Structure 1
Amino acid sequence: MNGLDQFPRRCWAEIDLAALERNLSAIKKALPPHVRYIAVVKADAYGHGMHQTVARLMQAGIEMYGVANVAEAATIREIGGTGWSILILGATLKEEAQFLFEYDLIPTLSSVEEVEFLDTLAAERNTVLKVHLKIDTGMGRLGIWHEYAHTLFDSVKEAKNLQLDGIYTHFSHAETDVEFTERQRRRFMTAISAVSWIKPEDLLIHADNSAGLTSFTPGSTYNAVRIGLLQFGITPYAQSLFARVPTTPIFSFKTRISIVKDLPAGTEISYGRTCRLKRHSKVAILCAGYGDGIPRSLSNKGFALIKGQRCPYLGRVTMDQTIIDVTDLDPTPLAGEEVCLIGAQKGGEIKVEQFARWAGTISWEILCSITKRVPRIYKTSIATG
């Protein structure tokens, strides 16, 4: 138990692990049987909590995980030991390379230099290291540019102590630009098919993440998908092939009212006097601000739920407190009453996708920005259905 657990909660997040397991089941049912599920759990499982999330995914039968770096991978090994494949989606620094062997990890390689370096290290350890090669088809980050991919393939073929386990790419605009995504798909498959010794059926070939599923084609060469946001019940892309999969948001973000007060019309409130009240108002002061994860960009826009009803933000979001308008609520809420910032409450709902749009950002950033000051409360009931 954390020493802070003795204090009443002013702001907290709730994560429904049973809903996570139900989401997983729904997604897997929608995928062709031959397609392998790679659960992406980087950045503390998108703010949901690495330990609890991965433990539940392991319990549900997920065998492969994607993380950003070796430190995150080591955390998974501590949770579940051996028996699970872990793909490092980021580049591995030379100082980190020893941990690839220590924790039995699969690195992503983007250059001939990385191949040669890791092949030498593996030879020194008298072992064989599994690797995935990444092809840059238009993102411009990791991966060798697709026109030069043959040089990377040739180098890994010559390596004596590396085993090619997979090849992948990453889409830059899959959520809305289907035409460019298809161009990336063609570049990817052209790069692979140009090398005669590569047999895609013997490798993991993956390009699609939650956004890429917009144009995922069952029965294609791809035999793996990387699922992050979708498993948490978030489908920001209405046109996605998987938008109709019955997933449920597993994350709720809540706080409490500290005080309720009356203010006369014409009062200028908040830092910078950024809100002028147009009427006599009742305002509630929330026990949360940008120090907890409410974006400052929500100042004077967006809503919170009280008794299932939407109440607008007033003035600037500050570090520890936020003002909302409760004038139209009857009865007037009381100090200590629960407020839902993200999630469902008494028939009302604010999805993280909508919260992100109000803030002018994306769901990923919202989830990753809810700070460590906010305790995570886990619901661990048995998944059914």
Structure 2
Amino acid sequence: MKPHVNRCWAQIDLAALERNLRRIRATLPAHMRYVAVVKADAYGHGLHHAAARMMHSGADLFAVANVAEAAQLRELGPGWPILVLSPLLLEEDPLLAELDLAATISSAQEIARFDAVGRAAGRRLKVHLKIDTGMGRLGVWHTDAHALYAQITAAPHLELAGIYTHFASPDEDAAFTAEQRHCFLDALSRCEALGLRLDQSLFIHADNSAGLGTLPEGGRPFNAVRIGLLQFGIQPAPHALLTQVHTEPVFSFHTRIGLVKELPAGTTISYGRTHRLARDTRVAILCAGYGDGIPRALSNRGQVLVGGHRCPILGRVTMDQTILDVSALPAVACGDEAVLIGTQPTPNTAQPSSEPAATSPAPLAQIDIGEFSRWADTIPWEILCSITKRVPRLYQSPLGI
């Protein structure tokens, strides 16, 4: 049997991931702990590989969306703190003790449920109190947080391990973010009046990748940050703190050309005939479509790198193929690589010379995930989560930098 050939794939640079994590940590205040958010299969990068690398790079706590993700993460070994960010279903409650997880608490009902699990297990379960300061999603409303705090501390089989909130628009609305931070700090003060001690024994966290630039001077009383997109080399917002960190893209998206052909002027392209060729055109058909994660919104709009050139997408993206105009590339052929997100060396246009060859690397053509997302009228988070399971992840430098 012939070896498998990748028609479409994503490359994951684990060494870049480790460098990113270390650089972010070096920028944070010394007391600040690193909560690595690895939900949605580590934002499409592959949970096992990404988290294993982070364990060797200084992550203090892992945050996942649900118990199923936590179970996958726990396969890597015992002892690593894992926070489940989303609410649990009743049937999932026993897994808190079985997998040694920290649950998010937003209500008195959850306190009773999780305390019962701890009682049955004969030990205390760790929990994080979430405070709603204006997101309107999970968490107890900030003016009632102190009452829920008191109930948690009174529950004999629960241990408060953290308190946190979630900013609704840190990358777009600094004033509302400041208001949310004030509400959170006020809620903490009310809890302090009931005995809360704001020290390193608790994770106090509000900021994520997009909110880091609004950290108060010194960061206190916050002592942890939740880092998701930034650790993968994607800056969600141009805040001052973020620009101090040089992060590298970890993810790139590739496919190959399956067919090259000539079509006459006037030919209509793909479903719905939404593009008509204005001239005789050389087209290439990619071995990937929306079934792999190329958004249909890139139809007649997006571009793809082939041979270091930007080639426009013609017509509608289909489930398994995408059509490009490669008229500028007479040598393009079946099997050539095309880059959807990432870089390619640009063609060498220098004239022959008797001088020694330059040692500097060739310039790179690039389509970054921000540009790709804008073509699709969406955000990098969604793009990363939409690259399907049909696309294998190929890991670079899995064992060392």
TM-score if structure 2 supplies the norm length?
Answer: 0.92
> Which of 33, 41, 45 lines up with 2:38 in the alignment?
41
Give the deviation of 1:122 after TM superposition: 1.3
Q: Secondary structure at the match of 2:161?
A: strand
| Matches of 2:30 and 2:308, distance apart in 1 | 41
Partner of 1:116: 112
Higher mean C-alpha deviation, range 231-240 or range 135-144 = 231-240
| Matches of 2:243 and 2:168, distance apart in 1 | 19
Matches within 5 A, 1:4-153: 6-79=3-76, 81-153=77-149
Tell me, yes or no, if the aligned pair for 2:33 and 2:224 is still in contact at 8 Å: yes
Asked if residue 163 in structure 1 is aligned to residue 162 in structure 2, the reply is: no
Partner of 2:388: 371
| Matches of 1:39 and 1:322, distance apart in 2 | 35
Give the deviation of 1:75 after TM superposition: 1.1
| Matches of 1:64 and 1:300, distance apart in 2 | 43
Letter in 1 for 2:198: P
Tell me, yes or no, if the aligned pair for 2:314 and 2:323 is still in contact at 8 Å: yes
Matches within 5 A, 1:169-318: 169-195=165-191, 196=193, 197-201=195-199, 202-219=201-218, 220-239=220-239, 241-318=241-318
State the identity as a percent.
Answer: 57
CA offset digits 1:323-368 (Å, max 9, x no partner):
1111123x43111100000011111011111111110001011011
Tell me, yes or no, if the aligned pair for 2:93 and 2:113 is still in contact at 8 Å: no
Tell me, yes or no, if the aligned pair for 1:237 and 1:243 is still in contact at 8 Å: no
Partner of 2:377: 360
Q: Secondary structure at the match of 1:342?
A: strand
Tell me, yes or no, if the aligned pair for 2:264 and 2:280 is still in contact at 8 Å: yes
CA offset digits 1:117-158 (Å, max 9, x no partner):
211221232211111000011111110111221221121122
CA offset digits 1:257-296 (Å, max 9, x no partner):
1111112222211100011112221111100000000001
Higher mean C-alpha deviation, range 235-244 or range 346-355 = 235-244
Higher mean C-alpha deviation, range 119-128 or range 7-16 = 119-128
TM-score if structure 1 supplies the norm length?
Answer: 0.95
| Matches of 1:97 and 1:19, distance apart in 2 | 37
Tell me, yes or no, if the aligned pair for 1:170 and 1:207 is still in contact at 8 Å: yes
| Matches of 2:400 and 2:173, distance apart in 1 | 36
Task: Give the root-mean-square deviation of aligned CA atoms.
Answer: 1.5
User: Structure 1 regions of 5+ residues with no counterpart?
Assistant: none
Q: Secondary structure at the match of 1:194?
A: helix
Letter in 1 for 2:100: D
| Matches of 1:59 and 1:37, distance apart in 2 | 13
Tell me, yes or no, if the aligned pair for 2:257 and 2:284 is still in contact at 8 Å: yes
Give the deviation of 1:62 after TM superposition: 2.0
Number of aligned residue pairs: give it: 379
| Matches of 1:370 and 1:297, distance apart in 2 | 14
User: Structure 2 regions of 5+ residues with no counterpart?
Assistant: 346-363
| Matches of 1:243 and 1:208, distance apart in 2 | 16
Higher mean C-alpha deviation, range 43-52 or range 155-164 = 155-164
